[in-house]
Amino acid sequence: MRLINLPLANGELKTPRKATFAALFAMIAAVRAVLVTALPLEVYAVLGDVQKVSVLYTTVAIIGLIGALLVPALVARFRRRWVFSLGALSAVGAAGLFLSGGLPALIGGLILQAFALTAMEVTLNLFLMDYVPRKELSRFEPLRIFVSAGVWTLAPWSGVFLRTEVAVGAPYVAMATLAAATLGFFWYLRFTDDPAVGPARKRPVNPVKHLGRFFRQRRLALAWGLAVGRAGWWYMFFVYAPILMVHLGFGEERTGMVVSAGMACVFAVPLWGLAARRWGIRKLLFAGYLFSGFTTFAVATAFGTPWLAVALMIGAALATSVIDGAGNVPFFRAVHPFERPEMTSVFTTYRDFGQLAPPAVFSVLLQAFHLPAVFAAAGIGMAGLAWLSRFIPRRL
């Protein structure tokens, strides 16, 4: 694997650097974020019921999880760079389905989008672990999140603005354009699979065969569980915060602004990264999960006061950004180099489970309760993860 001819501010890049990976992760984030508010609003408009929205997202998450487990087999057969390319092209295809309209196309687009993002992120994480030393990963995670913060701040509002001020299909055109740009930039970097760099001397197999080994390693299982909770909270925020805003009587564009404001909290991640190096990841995660749980639960009690509910929602996003200060470092520090591809493919299912568990639980709750139950349940779950984070090794 090699990287050539990349001009940056610091001069010509001859080997992969952290800034290169941060830029690619930010571009993938843009593909996801431009629809992060507009798409739930579209689904809610089509279905007209928040419980039905939960059922649809649960179904899509199950299918997306199956697709995620197939990514390593694709890597074994077609190489990482081709799987990354397939992911980017799948994102373009998902945008085309969204544009065609109708519930079947919407469902197909959601499934294809889930696979696209998983394929790109799994393969890019494998490239990352080849080139960035393990001890440097704790510094890279805050950099990656900080670079992506600008994307997550602007894109949710931009997607809604395009939807309301330009055309309903404009966000989908933007997504396709961003995915194509990401693919072009990736191939400009000339990534290749070089056995002299990568540790993989044998083809990775389906991660289902590695589930037992993964979860027998306590530190890997703990890292996965905490990551599921973090991803699940953000998924709840992306899907149900826009519905909350509509429920409280706010317009779509203001909804996009609030989601963007919540994501702007991610700019504080470098501060949390410094805090992690000062006090340790365990203390940082405990505080982040605890305060996130408290403020999220408080949203459920403030539905009668719309602006207070909005303020608490943004406050909960700030608390959850504390968790992002550690990112996936517990996994990176626990995984053995000789089994990175297999264990990474299992670990990255945290996002799929994070997308599966919340709507599955909420679809049941919403049969008997109203929308505030979503935020109450999410708050209780985050408080439980605060307790679980106490089992992180002290040396982290």
Q: What is the pLDDT of residues 163-194, one digit of tens each?
A: 888 888 899 999 999 999 999 988 888 765 54
The CA distance from 276 to 283, in Å, is 8
Residue type, 49: D
pLDDT higher for 218 or 274?
218
Q: What is the pLDDT of residues 124-163, one digit of tens each?
A: 888 777 766 666 666 676 677 777 778 888 888 888 889 8
| Helix 50-78 × helix 340-347 angle, to 10° | 170
Neighbouring C-beta atoms of residue 212, cutoff 10 Å: 8
Q: What is the pLDDT of residues 307-344, one digit of tens each?
A: 999 999 999 998 888 887 676 777 877 777 777 767 77
pLDDT surpassing 80 at residue 97: yes
- Predicted pLDDT of residue 16: 54
pLDDT surpassing 60 at residue 3: no
The CA distance from 142 to 191, in Å, is 24
Secondary structure (DSSP) of 250-268: --HHHHHHHHHHHHHGGGG
- Predicted pLDDT of residue 191: 66
* CA R_g for the chain: 20
- 121 contacts 80 by C-beta, under 8 angstroms: no
Closest by Cα among 226, 222, 231 to 334: 222
Q: Retrieve residue 278's tokens.
A: 């000062």
- Predicted pLDDT of residue 299: 94
26 within domain boundaries: yes
The CA distance from 107 to 149, in Å, is 28
The residue behind tokens 């991610």 is: 266
Q: What is the CATH number of the domain that holds 46?
A: 1.20.1250.20
2 within domain boundaries: no
365 within domain boundaries: yes
| Helix 349-365 × helix 103-131 angle, to 10° | 140
Please report, for residues 27, 36, 241, 335, the alpha-carbon distance to residue 186 in angstroms, rounded to integers and kept in the order given: 10, 23, 33, 26
What total of structural domains would you count in the chain? 1
pLDDT higher for 330 or 43?
43
Buried-exposed string 12-22: b where 16+ CB fall within 10 A, e elsewhere:
ebeebbbbbbb
The CA distance from 18 to 395, in Å, is 24
| Helix 38-47 × helix 103-131 angle, to 10° | 150
- 34 contacts 222 by C-beta, under 8 angstroms: no
Q: Retrieve residue 128's tokens.
A: 């990352």
Confidence of residue 94 (pLDDT cuts 50, 70, 90): very high
220 HSE (CA, 13 A, CB side): 20
Q: What is the pLDDT of residues 243-257, one digit of tens each?
A: 888 888 887 778 888
396 within domain boundaries: no
1 within domain boundaries: no
Neighbouring C-beta atoms of residue 165, cutoff 10 Å: 9
- Predicted pLDDT of residue 86: 93
Confidence of residue 198 (pLDDT cuts 50, 70, 90): very low
DSSP SS3 for 7 = strand
Beta bridge partners of 240: none
The CA distance from 192 to 125, in Å, is 14
Tell me the longest C-alpha to C-alpha distance in the chain: 61
H-helix segments, the chain: 18-33, 38-47, 50-78, 80-100, 103-131, 137-161, 170-188, 211-216, 218-247, 252-264, 269-279, 281-301, 306-324, 329-334, 340-347, 349-365, 372-388
Q: What is the pLDDT of residues 199-252, one digit of tens each?
A: 444 454 555 667 778 888 888 888 888 989 988 999 899 889 888 888 888 877
341 within domain boundaries: yes
Query: Which domain covers residue 327, as residue numbers?
Result: 10-391
Q: Retrieve residue 8's tokens.
A: 């940056």
* Average pLDDT of every residue of the chain: 81
Closest by Cα among 220, 389, 378, 222 to 312: 378
- Predicted pLDDT of residue 391: 82
- Predicted pLDDT of residue 153: 83
DSSP SS3 for 172 = helix
5 within domain boundaries: no
Beta bridge partners of 8: 11
Q: What is the pLDDT of residues 279-318, one digit of tens each?
A: 777 888 888 899 999 999 999 999 888 899 999 999 999 8
Q: What is the pLDDT of residues 17-41, one digit of tens each?
A: 677 888 888 899 999 889 988 888 8
pLDDT surpassing 60 at residue 352: yes
3 within domain boundaries: no
